[in-house]
Amino acid sequence: MRAWEKNIRRVDPYVPGEQPSGEKLIKLNTNENPYPPAPGVERALREMDYGRLRKYPDPAASVLTGCLAGYYGVGEDQVFVGVGSDDVLAMAFLAFFNSPKPILFPDVSYSFYKVWANLFGIPYEMPALDQEFRICPPDYYKENGGVVFPNPNAPTGLLLGLGEVEDIIRHNQDVVVVVDEAYIDFGGRSALALLNRYENLLVVQTFSKARSMAGLRIGFAIGNPRLIRALNDVKYSYNSYTMNMPSLVLGVESVKEERYFRDTVAKIVKTREQAKKRLCALGFTFPDSMSNFIFARHEKAAAPKLFEALKSRQIYVRYFAQPRLENYLRITVGTDEEMEELYHFLEGYLAY
C-alpha cells in the first residue's frame, strides 16, 4: 500500500439497481414509474429558456419550495429540497444524528441508511423486523440518538399505519425522527398529518416514484422550521447550489398537474393489485405491498436462478443476496403490458 492510500476512507458503498440499456427489455428492478411525467413537464421542457443555463440557479430553490409549501399547506420555511431524497436523507444524517448514542433503523430496510451511518461515523442499531417482515414499534422505545425508517418499508412494501408511526414518534420526542416516504403515494396516510404535534418529526419524499421524475433527481423534506434551518446550514456548508435550474422549473410543473398525478398513481395501484392475484395464482407468496413493487418468493423456484432466467429474457427484477432475503425477488410494478410479459415467462418457467 502506498503511503497516501492509508488516508483513503474505506466504506462499503450502496449498490444501486442495474441500469440496463437496450430497446427490447422490461425493466422492473428499480421501482421507477412506467409512465411518463405530466404533460406540463414536457411542455415546459420544450419551452425552456436555455440561456438561463449560463447562470447559477437560485440557491434557495424558492420557486420549488414555495410550490411545495402551497401544495402541502405548510410554510415555505418548513420545506427543504435536494438532489433526490437520497441527498436530503444524507443531509439529515449529517444534521441530526450527532449523538454518541446509536440511531435506530430496521435490519431489513433501505440499505443506504447503513452506508451513511458508516460513512459519517454514526453509531447505529438495527432492530429486526418480525417474522412477517413488519416493523415493531416497541423496538424503538429504547434510548437512542435518532430514528429513521421508510414507510412503506423497502424492500418489503409493508405499510405502518399512521397510529403506529405516531407511536414511534411519541416515544422518541428527545431525538429527531425521520420518516422516509418515498412510496407513500401508493398507499397509506402520510406522517405529514402529524407535523403540528411533533416538532422533532421530519418527513422526506421524492419525485422519483409517483411523479415519474427519477431522472431529474428531486427530493424534499417537510418539518419544523428549526429542522429546515439546520438542513440548510448543512447544505450551505458544502454546496449552496444543490438544485439545477431545469429540475426547479420542471418540478414545479409536476406539482401543478394534480389530476395526472392521481390518475397515474391509480393505474399503478390497480396493476399492483392485479399482480398480487396473478402471482399468487402462480404459487408466489409475498407481504401485502402498499408500494409500487412486490417482494415475492416461490417455494419451488430459487430466487437466484429465477433472477438469472428472467435476466436472460431481458426482464430485469431486483435480487438481494443477504440473510432473510435470499429467496425473494423485488418486482417493480410496470405497465399492464410489461406485467403480462412477466406472467407469460413465469408460467413457462414454473411449468418445468
Measured between alpha carbons, how far is 260 from 258 in angstroms, rounded to an integer?
A: 6
Order of strands across the sheet that contains 201-206: 79-82, 219-223, 201-206, 177-180, 147-150, 103-104, 124-125
pLDDT tens per residue across span 211-270: 999 999 999 999 999 999 999 999 999 899 999 999 999 999 999 999 999 999 999 999
Among 1-5, 91-95, 168-172, the least confident range: 1-5
Using the predicted structure, report yes or no on whether residue 43 has a pLDDT greater than 90.
yes
Using the predicted structure, report yes or no on whether residue 30 has a pLDDT greater than 80.
yes
pLDDT tens per residue across span 274-332: 999 999 999 999 999 999 999 999 999 999 999 999 999 999 999 998 899 999 999 99
pLDDT score, position 17: 84
pLDDT score, position 18: 85
pLDDT score, position 22: 78
pLDDT score, position 208: 97
φ, ψ dihedrals at 329, nearest 5°: -120, 135
Could you tell me the sign of the dihedral formed by the alpha carbons of 86, 87, 91, 92, in that order? negative
What residue spans of 236-316 are helical by DSSP H? 245-256, 258-281, 303-312
pLDDT score, position 12: 86
pLDDT score, position 140: 98
Using the predicted structure, report yes or no on whether residue 11 has a pLDDT greater than 90.
no
Measured between alpha carbons, how far is 335 from 235 in angstroms, rounded to an integer?
A: 37
pLDDT tens per residue across span 56-101: 999 999 999 999 999 999 999 999 999 999 999 999 999 999 999 9
Amino acid at 38: A
pLDDT tens per residue across span 139-158: 999 999 999 999 999 999 99
pLDDT score, position 58: 95
Measured between alpha carbons, how far is 197 from 182 in angstroms, rounded to an integer?
A: 22
pLDDT tens per residue across span 194-211: 999 999 999 999 999 999
pTM given for the model: 0.96
Angle at 87 between CA 82 and CA 89, to 5 degrees: 110
Q: How confident is the model at residue 352 (pLDDT cuts 50, 70, 90)?
A: confident
Measured between alpha carbons, how far is 188 from 351 in angstroms, rounded to an integer?
A: 37
